[in-house]
A and B are shown apart, each in its own frame.
Chain A
Amino acid sequence: MSEYRVSGKGRVDAARPVSFSFDGKTFSGLKGDTVASALLANGVHLMGRSFKYHRPRGAVAAGSEEPNALIGTRRGPGRFEPNTRATVQEIWDGLQTNSQNKYPSLKFDVGAVNDAAYMLFSAGFYYKTFMWPKNFWHKVYEPFIRAAAGLGVSPTEEDPDHYASRYLHCDVLIVGAGPTGIAAAKAAAVDGLKVVLVDENAEAGGTLLSEPQAQIGGKPAWDWLASELAALKDAGVRIMTRTTAIGYYHQNMIGMVEKLTDHLPTLPKDTPRERMWRVRAKRVVLAQGALEKPLVFHGNDRPGVMLAGSAQTFLNRYGVLVGRKPIVLTCHDSAWYAAFDLSDAGAKVQAIVDTRESVPQALLDGAQSRGIPVKLSHTASGTSGRLRVNALRVNTIRSGHVEGGQNIACDAVLTSGGWTPSLHLFSHTQGKLAWDDDKTTFLPDVTPEDCLIAGASRGLWGVEAALNDGAEKGRESVAALGKTGADATYAVENDRPGTGVTHRELPTDLNPGRAKAFVDYQNDVTAKDLRLAVREGMRSIEHVKRYTTNGMATDQGKMSNINGLNIAADALGKKQPQVGLTTFRPPYTPTSFGAFCGYHRGDHFEVTRKTQIDAWAEENGAVFEPVGQWRRAWYFPKAGEDMEAAVRRECVATRKSVGIFDASTLGKIEVVGPDAVEFMNRVYTNPWTKLAVGRCRYGLLLGDDGFIRDDGVIARVAEDRFHVTTTTGGAARVLNMMEDYLQTEWPDLNVWLTSTSEQWSTIALNGPNAAKLLQPFVKDLELTEETFPHMSCTELEVAGMPARLWRVSFTGEIGFEVNVPAPMGRKLWETLWEAGQQYGITAYGTETMHVLRAEKGYIIVGQDTDGTVTPDDCGLGWAVGRKKPDFVGKRGLARPDLVTKGRKHLVGLLTEDKSKLEEGAQIVFDPNQPLPMTMVGHVTSSYTSDAVGQPIALALVAGGQDKMGETVYIPMPDRTIAAKITPMVFVDPDNTRLKI
């Protein structure tokens, strides 16, 4: 047993030693220890270096509010995490940890030169220093800042852990399983209500774990705790430990992160590292307790200077004395009890230094009986010791005057500046805070949420007050749900409610301008910095915060905000509420990206929609591209082919014989009802009344602004039934738009819309041999011009499968689209593939589809249009039924901007040097004009075209339709390309190839 471990104390398991490493050195702790408690048990206080000055630092706190003791943890290969709080990380055999912000070693760190130069690094240092000369920014300042910036080191390997998430609905959620929360849970656990009690610590109990002396209803605190927790479990209360409520969102949605494996030496199978809980609670009770405030004085950051309450926690919960010769420095009663507990555990308390003139007699008696020297009306003006405190400089305050100091030797300084209610989650609710002058702190006022705040979070001190308030708030919560909560009144003996006074900086006899009196440990902000910020003109606490970075570190000012406010308010000569408090924002404690991602990584990252034919494409070597959520076969390279060669072969084969294409991703909507044709007339630009059953028509969809939204071929399957197709990416959007008009503008129409996108597998056959290939599989239908002309549709069997067969073409060749019930898609594909071998059938992907359609001047909505293109702009004016009284977009097309001259038109481009243009390249009329040139359009589509014999492009060009044959220029980084404006149709303008 080490000299700092107290046998018989704490909740650690003395029979289970645990071995872990810190900075490469092996240490021994006990099961139940945190890294911090185990290091302290080994007499190690130095745990890190500060962010800016690289000052040596040790743990100040014992919980998640710890600002200093940030370590890197390694839990095996790939499992490295920086900035973990040593006070939270539980140890296990083999855990590797290291300190941060030091080079070459924690004990000797060259960065500490910043500390000597600290006068330079005062508030606003970055703003002032890196202003000039301007050209120093990239070469000198930025690299310097980047090298120095950041806390800890980012992990470099891929995280092998996995993460999870769940939704949880409950009646009452209680945040904080201290005495307040436990009493609230007990009161709320009635009538089958779902009650959840959550705590960030490894075990429930909160302050009771640090105050075993309390007797609740005659029972020792820990016995009471054990029996209460067991009773809560029996009553069906869900108790979640190692689970942090990180944020309070609208309407009682609480985000919670549960840590499942960081405390385990071996990873259990199928268990995520962390799980994000999205909890929706009918009522919430916030019982987060209070955080102790440090005192602000010169040298208050030296390792060994820590919060008195935390020293008490290390002793009572972990059985660790943080020093054998501690000294207590306080302005609050609570630290006296820490002194007593440490003294009773064998420490020789050097003195209790209290700034107050008088304290309760019981405290004086307690000190006297233990032989602890008491120094009332005293302050502290400094500490000494290199890597650990070895003395506190103590001064008498006489009539408000600070006299000369006297060093008192010690190995730890336990300070208490009083307690600050933890209002973080309450603030997330946009709850209002009220300043309490007596307690010199903000207390919760009103909140818009269905939430109560109880116990120390609202300024009630002592276990008894906490229990009774918790019980009351628990009952109140269930009363709001129409239930009657269990009645209970608690009486506590050996309770330690206390009072105290509040200080800004402690009074000192030394020049406060030279004091390194830290307010924000993690960001190295001193009291002097805050006063400087005010002197330099900062008036609001929000400005002071940003100028000094006070409260902006990863601990979000849990310790520094109130001290910072008190000092800033003093410097401004205002009351604290007039200066304001900065806003707490989620998350309460640093949260891993993994917890936010949850399942959404790797295979679960996002939906990848695949067609029924996708697996065939994969087996046949397809290269895929994402189209919306779909992955589609892009091209099918043969051995040795690159993309260009494969696409060229696919294009040639399709135009020469027959190509097969998976068009299943097209959106499909079944429009059914007596008013189906009327609906179609109102939604699409085209006239539909005269479209005969069994015929198809190209449909164009506009927004009411007159711009193209979508297009697709539409078949009239029956008098009252249309089979609409949409673009792949537009499927959901188009259906939503149609539903919107139908439900809200034309609710009188008797027509209904059903998505059939995934009902059908759609296989397109294109090419001169398409009809020949298909004919044997189609009984009872002659595939001829007479019996089944272009733009026909019918329902029949194809290869024995029920099908909707369309004769349509998106290539300019004879084309068919066969729709069969989705799961039959692959069978049909393979049937056609086999039969097509005699014709040298070629599977093609989306790239070839794009080339073939561009050769014919067919647009792709979203590629050749961008939401500002009208039908006339892209040569589709013929598709607009101008005689119809109305359709969506008709009035829009008459808007002044849409009928003006000089609009951009979609045209063809052929380059003079036969080079292929880049899609997105800008177009100018005059390549010799001065910079910046006037851009008159851009290339929307560009492909190599074997059928044309040179690359082709489509482009939007201002007034393009009136400039046929003229030359435009496309300036590129290395040269300017000239191109001739042509019609959009490059291949077979007379559609002779469509004929069977």
Chain B
Amino acid sequence: MSAPISQKAPGVLAASTAAEIALAAPCARLSLRARGDLAPLNAALGLTLPTRIGQVVPAGERQVICLGPDEWMIHAPSDDTAAIASACADAYATLPHSLVDVSAREVTLTIKGAHAAELLTIGCARDIDGIPVGEGRRTFFDGQTVILWRDGDTAFRMDVWNSFSGHVFDLLKTGCAELAAEHA
């Protein structure tokens, strides 16, 4: 029997000549919801929240992706959670919003390698080529909602809820081997 993905040590989980799948180190994940003039939150977070869905804004070790017209996901170092929470709390009076810690809700798998993009086509119905490098999308992989970040031509991150991560990883691993055989 295997432990949940969330209890594995960060590092490579599966690799082939086609692609490599690794578990990223834990980080702070904060779901931010707000609307209206975002200036108070921008000031609190020290960045400008992106307003086009799919856009990613990095700021130091923090990174924010816009997921919906009033929704963002913030990734930051784990020890940054309290700072973000308190800065946002200070802005609450001027701009009411929702900040929810979902750090423990999901894991991040990194998928990279020559055939990483092709690997994603076994489970993503949308055109992977339609996601520019440096952006991301919430979409699905084999029916499960995921956030897919494109860090490079052949480098992706996939945020997936704990209980779906096993299924998603197993399928990625099968695809990894299949693509390696195909491109051998």
A contact residues vs B (CB 8 Å cutoff): 164-169, 268-272, 278, 280, 599, 603-604, 606-612, 614-615, 618-619, 629-630, 670, 672-674, 720, 750-752, 754-760, 821-824, 826
Contact = CB atoms under 8 A, between A and B. Distances in A.
A750 B164 CA distance: 31
B171 A823 contact: no
Interface in B134-184: 142-144, 161-164, 166-167, 170-171, 174-175, 177-178, 180-182
A278 B180 contact: no
B144 A280 contact: no
From B96, B98, B102, residue with most partner A Cβ within 10 Å: B98
A167 B125 contact: yes
A599 B6 CA distance: 24
15 contacts: A166-B121, A167-B124, A607-B144, A610-B4, A612-B7, A615-B2, A619-B1, A629-B163, A673-B33, A673-B97, A720-B96, A752-B70, A756-B105, A821-B103, A823-B4
Contacts of A751: 98
Contacts of A599: 122, 142, 171, 174
Nearest to B181: A270
Given A272-B178, A758-B106, A169 B127 contact: yes
Contacts of B83: none
B102 to A, nearest CB: 5
B177 to A, nearest CB: 4
B98 A673 contact: yes
Contacts of A269: 177, 181
B1 A615 contact: yes
Contact of B180 (A165, A270, A822): A270
Contacts of B104: 758-760, 821-824
B118 to A, nearest CB: 8
Contacts of A165: 122
B51 interface: no
B105 A759 contact: yes
A607 B7 contact: no
Given A604-B171, A604-B174, A618-B1, A754 B98 contact: yes
Main secondary structure, interface of A, reads mixed
A756 B99 CA distance: 12
Contact of B167 (A604, A615, A674, A750): A604
Contacts of A612: 4, 6-7, 162
B100 A672 contact: yes
Contacts of B124: 167
Given A604-B167, A756-B102, A164 B178 contact: yes
B125 A615 contact: no
B163 A603 contact: no
B100 A670 contact: yes
A775 B170 CA distance: 41
Contact of B7 (A164, A169, A609, A823): A823
Interface in B77-125: 96-106, 118, 121-122, 124-125
Nearest to A665: B163
A167 B121 contact: yes
Nearest to A619: B1
A168 B33 contact: no
A608 B100 contact: no
Contact of A826 (B7, B98, B129): B7
Interface string B20-41: 0000000000010100000000
Contact of A166 (B7, B103, B122, B162): B122
Given A280-B127, A758-B162, 20 more contacts: A167-B126, A169-B130, A270-B180, A271-B181, A272-B178, A278-B125, A604-B167, A604-B170, A606-B167, A673-B97, A673-B98, A752-B70, A754-B98, A758-B106, A759-B101, A759-B103, A759-B104, A760-B104, A821-B103, A826-B7
Given A164-B122, A599-B122, A610 B163 contact: yes
Nearest to A751: B98
Contacts, number: 119
Interface residues of B, number: 47
A60 B161 CA distance: 56
A169 B161 CA distance: 27
A603 B105 contact: no
A268 B7 CA distance: 34
Interface of B: 1-4, 6-7, 31, 33, 70, 96-106, 118, 121-122, 124-127, 129-130, 142-144, 161-164, 166-167, 170-171, 174-175, 177-178, 180-182
B100 A609 contact: no
A239 to B, nearest CB: 15
Nearest to B35: A750
A442 B10 CA distance: 62
A607 B164 contact: yes
A743 to B, nearest CB: 10
Contact of A169 (B98, B129, B164, B178): B129
A608 B181 contact: no
A609 B165 CA distance: 9
B27 to A, nearest CB: 13
Contact of A754 (B1, B31, B118): B31
A760 B100 CA distance: 12
B10 to A, nearest CB: 12
Nearest to A612: B4
A165 B97 CA distance: 42
* 6 interchain residue pairs of minimum CB distance: A821-B104, A752-B33, A609-B163, A672-B98, A752-B98, A169-B127
Contacts of B70: 752
A257 to B, nearest CB: 15
A268 B166 CA distance: 26
Contacts of A607: 143-144, 163-164, 167
Contacts of B166: 608, 610
Contacts of A167: 121-122, 124-126
B66 to A, nearest CB: 15
Contacts of A674: 96
Contacts of B171: 599, 604
Given A165-B122, A821-B104, A611 B163 contact: yes
Contacts of A603: 170
A321 to B, nearest CB: 39
A620 to B, nearest CB: 11
Contacts of A271: 178, 181-182
B167 to A, nearest CB: 4
A168 B98 CA distance: 38
A610 B70 CA distance: 31
Contact of B6 (A608, A720, A823): A823
Contacts of A164: 122, 175, 178
Nearest to A676: B98
A615 B163 CA distance: 12
B72 to A, nearest CB: 11
B75 to A, nearest CB: 15
A630 B180 CA distance: 32
Nearest to A669: B100
Given A164-B178, A169-B127, A610-B163, A754 B97 contact: no
A822 B6 contact: yes
B3 A615 contact: yes
A316 B121 CA distance: 39
Contact of A615 (B4, B102, B106, B175): B4
From A169, A629, A752, residue with most partner B Cβ within 10 Å: A752
A670 B99 CA distance: 10
A125 B66 CA distance: 66
Nearest to B119: A166
A403 B105 CA distance: 87
Given A759-B105, A826-B7, A754 B33 contact: yes
A611 B99 CA distance: 25
Nearest to B124: A167
A758 B100 CA distance: 13
Contacts of A823: 4, 6-7, 104, 162
Contacts of B127: 169, 280
A760 B171 CA distance: 25
A71 to B, nearest CB: 29
